[in-house]
Chain A
């Protein structure tokens, strides 16, 4: 599904952050990347989705064989990439439902499917929103404006459900969530697990992985994956901290 090879990347100002990442995620797998602050976790997510301000020096990332770095952000989304953001942006004046319909139809158009009219879309939207405990009042509001931390993460999960990605990258989805909100979001994510859908879960804390159980865990330190293992690795980190995994 996702192949990252020899990825060196950093900020446009020249700061190098990722220093040779190799990662292979198979279809239906859930991988977790854990690491201390500043290790390059969010940079990995942002580089994959094509956020401006970053610069790829060398290496490659392909999604089902297609070169992500050759694509605009919207093309990556059409190809099946989805990033659940750590800090979803507030967009005053743009109604959440209008935004969602525009996004869903943009992808449908690329896929050669008929665009959904407001009526058909609202039906689909309501069904998905209900599962995440998202009411009409939230969908009427502007994108992320006035949403609590939990609402923002639920809204990210709703977008994921509607856009049906092949690879979902969850960037610190647990940040700012209490246990109850975390459970709602994790349930939403788990409901989307499928044989043809993969997840890359980025987190600082092991806690999230109690709810979204990974097949593989990778420890990122100073821009490199320094250790990979199964979910027991996350528990080990929880006990000993990241210090013993620091890159030499």
Chain B
């Protein structure tokens, strides 16, 4: 039984005693990892990751606010995605973040990693937002080299709750980050997620959201900045399972050099889910002829009273705007940076983020552009 994709990788895991849940492992060993013939993985090849010899390692949480994160056990499952099965098989413990009913938290910052080179970290996380509670959670994943972080996060937002979640995925080296989130939203609940992915070897971030009760909303957005040989695959899957639900997906991608960025954006509207609004807009900026950007909208609509929109553009910087700024004496590099910065921060709008977080994210983008601290919004 060596024919499945990644079999040798799994055998190595087994031989170092990493398997904690044999049933999950057997299920994974039988199904193997998804290869590029699997539609959802046609743009992303895990062969390089599976050729590595990695050392299983626990999740390290560096949190600024102590006491907010508890441990969360791995699940025992024999079903689902191969990467979730891997997480289950090695018993990847993660974090538990619970916000009690009615609570309003100040923004919470947590950092996962850094860790040793050649580490394989699996984490099973759980976030619960009580009824009417509000929270802003900023998670920073990565800053690792030649390692692989793989996580599953389950989120429940109860009636009237609101979670704004920033997932900053960054790597100093050629790390691999595969993270999946499964969110369930109650009546009038909101989940606004913004994934910011920069650096790294291969990033695949999945956001699944089930809108199960009327009045709830999911915003699943991303800012993807890639250069060199970096690879990003951002996947969304919004399921409108109740009437009067809304969703919004704003994806802004900037690719330079030979980088590749993929957006697979799913909106599904179940039969009988009426009065649905689902918006999706993907815009990609190509800074090099050899960079690649793919957008694959997947809309499945089985109800009648539905307003769904999707749009995708791929282009270069606005040459007219570039000239306008240069004609005012702004050097070309600075003009380009200003335009990329403006483009990248478009998804900020919908989130209405606390200023400190916007400034932090702005700083990350400016750092990526090599113009750190150069431009700041002015207090007038």
Instruction: Using CB atoms and an 8 Å cutoff, list the residues of chain A in contact with chain B.
Output: 49-52, 72-74, 76-78, 83, 85, 88-95, 97-99, 101-103, 106-107, 110, 118, 121-122, 136, 139-140, 142-143, 159, 163
Asked, given contacts A94-B342, A106-B331, whether A77 binds B378 with beta carbons under 8 Å apart, the answer is: no
Contact with A along B313-325 (1 / 0, CB 8 A): 0000011110111
Q: Which residue of A lies closest to B321 (CB)?
A: A91
> Which residues of chain B are within 8 angstroms of A78 by Cβ–Cβ distance?
329
Output the nearest chain A residue to B380 by Cβ-Cβ distance.
Answer: A136
User: Which of B318, B321, B334, B343 is within 8 Å of A102, CB to CB?
Assistant: B334
CB distance from A13 to the nearest CB of B (A): 16
Q: Is the CB of A102 within 8 A of B380?
A: no
B355 at the interface (CB under 8 A from A): no
From B321, B327, B330, B379, give the contact of A83 (CB < 8 A).
Answer: B327
In the assembled complex, 14 residue pairs joining A and B whose CB atoms fall closer than 8 Å, in A order, are A52-B319, A73-B323, A73-B327, A76-B327, A85-B327, A93-B342, A95-B377, A98-B377, A101-B378, A106-B334, A110-B329, A118-B376, A121-B378, A122-B378
The answer to whether A74 touches B326, judged by C-beta atoms less than 8 angstroms apart, is: yes
Q: Are B325 and A99 in contact, with the CB atoms below 8 A?
A: yes
Interface of A is mostly: helix
B169 adjacent to chain A (CB < 8 Å):
no
Contacts of B334 in A (CB 8 A): 102, 106
Residue of A nearest to B349 (CB): A93
Task: Judge whether B81 is part of the interface by a CB distance below 8 angstroms.
Answer: no
1/0 per position for B289-326, CB-CB distance to A under 8 A? 00000000000000000000000000000111101111
Q: Does B258 contact A (CB under 8 A)?
A: no
Contact A77/B326 with A89-B320, A93-B341, A106-B331 known, Cβ cut-off 8 Å: yes
Q: Do residues B321 and A74 form an inter-chain contact, with CB atoms below 8 A?
A: no
Which chain B residues border A50 with CB–CB below 8 Å? 326-327
Q: Ordered nearest first, which 4 A-B pairs have the shortest CB separation?
A: A93-B342, A77-B329, A73-B326, A103-B328
Residue from the list B318, B331, B380 in contact with A74, Cβ < 8 A: B331
The proximity string for B residues 230-259 relative to A, scoring 1 for CB distances below 8 Å and 0 otherwise, is 000000000000000000000000000000
Of B324, B330, B346, the residue contacting A106 (CB under 8 A) is B330
A95 to B339, CA, bound (A): 11
Q: Which of A49, A77, A93, A122 contacts B380 (CB 8 A)?
A: A122
B318 neighbours in A (Cβ, 8 Å): 89, 91
Establish whether residues B324 and A93, one from each chain, have CB atoms under 8 Å apart when the complex forms. Answer: no
Q: B283 CB to closest chain A CB, in angstroms? A: 12
State in angstroms the CA–CA spacing of A122 and B332 once bound together: 24
Give CA–CA (A212, B276) in the complex, Å: 57
Tell me whether A91 and B339 are in contact (CB under 8 A): yes
Residues of A within 8 A of B324 (CB): 85, 88-89, 91, 143
How many residues of chain B have a CB within 8 Å of chain A? 28
Smallest CB–CB gap between B248 and chain A, Å? 18
A139 touches B339 (CB 8 A): no
Note all chain B residues with C-beta closer than 8 A to A102.
Answer: 325, 330, 334, 338, 375
Q: Are A163 and B328 in contact, with the CB atoms below 8 A?
A: yes
Give residues in B with beta carbon < 8 Å to A: 318-321, 323-332, 334, 338-339, 341-343, 345-346, 375-380
Instruction: Give the residue of A92, A97, A143, A163 whose beta carbon is less than 8 angstroms from that of B378.
Output: A97
Specify which chain B residues have a CB less than 8 angstroms from the CB of A103 in the assembled complex: 325, 328-330
| Complex alpha-carbon distance, A89 and B317, angstroms | 13
A74 to B376, Cβ gap below 8 A?
no
Question: A99-B338, A106-B334 are contacts. A91–B378 as well, Cβ < 8 Å?
Answer: no
A136 to B378, CA, bound (A): 11
CB-CB under 8 A from B327, the residues of chain A are 49-51, 73-74, 76-77, 83, 85
Min CB distance, A186 to chain B, in Å? 21
- Interface contact A72-B345, CB-CB below 8 Å: no
Among B323, B334, B341, chain A packs the most CB atoms within 10 A around the CB of: B323
Q: Using Cβ atoms and an 8 Å threshold, which residues of chain B touch A143?
A: 324
Q: How far is the CA of A20 from the CA of B36 in the complex (A)?
A: 62
A98–B328 touching, CB < 8 Å:
no
Question: Smallest CB-CB separation from A108: which chain B residue?
Answer: B329
